[in-house]
């Protein structure tokens, strides 16, 4: 599935798998900097970044887009995870911090296969009572809207959007894949989604050690499969095995061994095609 198809609609459609949360308060910047894997202190108001939350063992609990509204207010667009469970777990680390974590279930999230009106790159823009993000990649425009009028549900367009994320290397992790993979195994350096220099956060020691000692032995790869794949499915290679971490239609992402020899992946008894990850989505 390609995000360059000529029949792409410019109308907005709902993205029910993206969940907005608010992190607000005097201590919100300090709290986010201490918990999340990217450098929140370096994020300027009016901009957004890819970010995530890790276990102490450096495994990705969830990925999200983090927007900074001002000095004390952030919005998270949580990908695929259980928003209420995520928020409750995150609140367990607030202690006496002057900050709140709330799920904004009533705030619509919608998208369109069209160029953003005002947002560009990491800079988001106000669009009436909504915020607009530039979700484009590899020359194909996509826009995402947080707030505003609720859009109609369109499963076909929503599935196409998810497939576009995959071909650009954004791992859409369902609950079965949470807490299994390190940022390096998911190649999140491509999205500039984590920091090895900002200081302590859960899992930071594992992430930094892997980075500075060059110990990453697996990375993300894009596959085109002969039949729809399921997350967790084994991928067989001459050089070893790997696993599917996300899939939509015939597009899939897998964590595979790093090896200079050509890979001929197989999913079950069927061959799969190894494809390059497209550029884009990095902020």
Per residue in 221-261, pLDDT (tens digit) is 999 999 999 999 999 987 778 999 999 999 999 999 987 56
The pTM score is: 0.93
Q: How many CB atoms lie within 10 A of CB 127?
A: 18
Phi (first) and psi of residue 141, to 5 degrees: -75, 140
Q: Which pLDDT score, from 0 to 100, does residue 262 have?
A: 59
pLDDT in tens, 109-120: 999 999 999 999
Beta strands in 48-195 (DSSP E): 48-54, 60-68, 73-79, 100-103, 109-112, 125-127, 130-134, 143-147
Which helix (H) or strand (E) is 151 found in, with range?
Answer: none
201, 41 contact by CB (below 8 A): no
Q: Which two tokens stand for residue 95?
A: 């202690």
Two tokens, residue 164: 């576009």
Quick: pLDDT tens for 186-213: 999 999 999 999 999 999 999 999 888 8
């Amino acid at each position: 599935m390609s995000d360059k198809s000529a029949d792409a609609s410019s109308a907005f459609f709902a993205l029910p798998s993206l969940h907005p949360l608010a992190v607000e308060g005097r201590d919100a910047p300090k709290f986010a900097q201490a918990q999340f894997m990217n450098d929140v202190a370096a994020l300027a108001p009016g901009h957004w970044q890819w970010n995530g939350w890790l276990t102490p063992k450096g495994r990705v609990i969830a990925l999200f887009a983090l927007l900074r509204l001002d000095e004390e207010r952030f919005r998270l667009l949580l990908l695929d995870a259980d928003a209420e469970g995520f928020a409750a777990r995150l609140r367990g680390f607030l202690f006496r911090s002057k900050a709140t974590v709330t799920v904004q279930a009533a705030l619509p999230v919608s998208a369109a296969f069209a160029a953003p009106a005002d947002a560009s790159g990491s800079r988001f823009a106000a669009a009436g009572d909504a915020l607009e993000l530039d979700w484009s990649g590899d020359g194909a425009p996509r826009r995402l809207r947080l707030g505003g009028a609720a859009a109609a549900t369109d499963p076909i367009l929503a599935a196409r959007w998810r497939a576009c994320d995959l071909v650009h290397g954004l791992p859409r992790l369902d609950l079965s894949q949470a807490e299994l993979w390190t940022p390096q195994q998911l190649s999140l350096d491509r999205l500039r989604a984590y920091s090895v220099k900002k200081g302590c956060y859960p899992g930071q020691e594992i992430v930094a050690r892997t980075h500075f000692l060059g110990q990453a032995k697996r990375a993300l790869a894009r596959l085109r499969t002969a039949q729809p794949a399921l997350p967790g499915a084994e991928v067989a290679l001459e050089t070893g095995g790997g696993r599917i971490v996300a899939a939509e239609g015939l597009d899939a992402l897998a964590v595979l061994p790093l090896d200079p020899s050509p890979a001929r992946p197989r999913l079950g008894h069927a061959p799969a095609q190894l494809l390059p990850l497209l550029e884009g989505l990095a902020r």
